[in-house]
């Protein structure tokens, strides 16, 4: 836990969020500024800044596995998972998170 991290505050309930799912290790909630009809953020309960700064592959498996399970439980078979790593890639919150996007067609390459 990091005291000044926005997503750690959301996990602790200090900042309200629309919770979608919670497991022993993961927490999922609706993005405040959705980029698709369904836009869920999946985070690990352990604070880690970014994909590149974690060497804990179990943590990655837990957060990606949670994203997969949430998609399956929502009946989704077409969706996109996004991890922005670093400011120039679009990362604005420095608590590792997977974006789960669904409900519209997606183009390639991404912007």
Residues classed as catalytic: 97
Q: Distance from CA of residue 60 to its chain's centroid?
A: 11
Residues 66-105 that bind ligand 5GP (CB under 6 A): 84, 90-93
Total number of residues that touch ligand 5GP (CB under 6 A): 14
Burial of 55 (0-12, 13-18, 19+ CB in 10 A): exposed
Between 33 and 77, name the residue whose CB sits nearer to ligand 5GP: 33
Q: Least Å distance between CB 85 and ligand 5GP? A: 9
What is the residue whose two structure tokens read 């869920």? 40
Q: Distance from CA of residue 68 to its chain's centroid?
A: 11
CA torsion angle for 69, 73, 79, 80 (degrees, to 10)? -30
Say how far apart CA 85 and CA 27 lie, in whole Å: 19
Q: Tell whether residue 2 is a contact of ligand 5GP (CB under 6 A).
A: no
Between 83 and 102, name the residue whose CB sits nearer to Zn ion: 83
Answer for which of 38, 44, 45, 95 binds Zn ion (CB under 5 A) is 95
Residue nearest Zn ion (C-beta atom): 5
For 6, phi then psi, to 5°, come to -55, -45
Binding site for Zn ion (CB under 5 A): 2, 5, 7-8, 47, 95
Binding site for ligand 5GP (CB under 6 A): 6, 15, 17, 29-33, 41, 84, 90-93
């Amino acid at each position: 836990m990091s005291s000044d991290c926005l997503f750690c505050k959301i996990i602790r309930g200090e900042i309200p969020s629309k919770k979608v799912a919670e497991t022993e290790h993961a927490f999922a909630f609706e993005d405040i500024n959705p980029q698709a009809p369904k836009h869920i953020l999946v985070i690990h309960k352990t604070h880690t800044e970014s994909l590149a700064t974690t060497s804990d592959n179990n943590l990655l498996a837990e957060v990606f596995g949670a994203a997969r399970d949430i998609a399956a439980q929502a009946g989704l078979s077409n969706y996109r998972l996004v991890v922005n790593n670093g400011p120039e890639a679009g990362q604005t919150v420095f608590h590792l998170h997977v974006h789960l996007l669904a409900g519209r067609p997606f183009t390639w390459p991404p912007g």
